[in-house]
Amino acid sequence: MKPREVLPVEVRFHPKTRLPNFHLDILLEVEPNEPRKMMSLHGVSHGIELKLMDEVVAFGSVVRGSRLTKSL
């Protein structure tokens, strides 16, 4: 990176199970063998749950050979 250059950073958290509290330091290597802390991440995963707001997705009338799509 050049001085004053900005790059976006994206952090994704997709736990598959419950996780206790965690703390993770993200390091940036400025020069060879010179890591510096860029940011700290703190998180926890209490559980994974999915709920649907509606129990039924109504499509109404559909003509044969045509298509009707609804987002869920």
Is the residue at 39 inside a domain?
A: yes
User: 3-state class of 52 per DSSP?
Assistant: coil
Domain-located, residue 27: yes
In a domain, 31, yes or no: yes
Residue 41 lies in a domain: yes
36 inside domain? yes
Task: Give the domain range for residue 19.
Answer: 15-48
Provide the domain count of the chain.
1
- Report if residue 25 sits inside a domain: yes
**The token pair that represents 10 in the structure block:** 């994206």
pLDDT at residue 23, rounded to an integer:
92
| Cβ count near 45 (within 10 Å) | 15
Note down pLDDT in tens along the chain; length 72 residues: 788 888 888 888 888 888 899 999 988 888 888 888 888 988 888 876 767 776 677 777 777 788 877 776
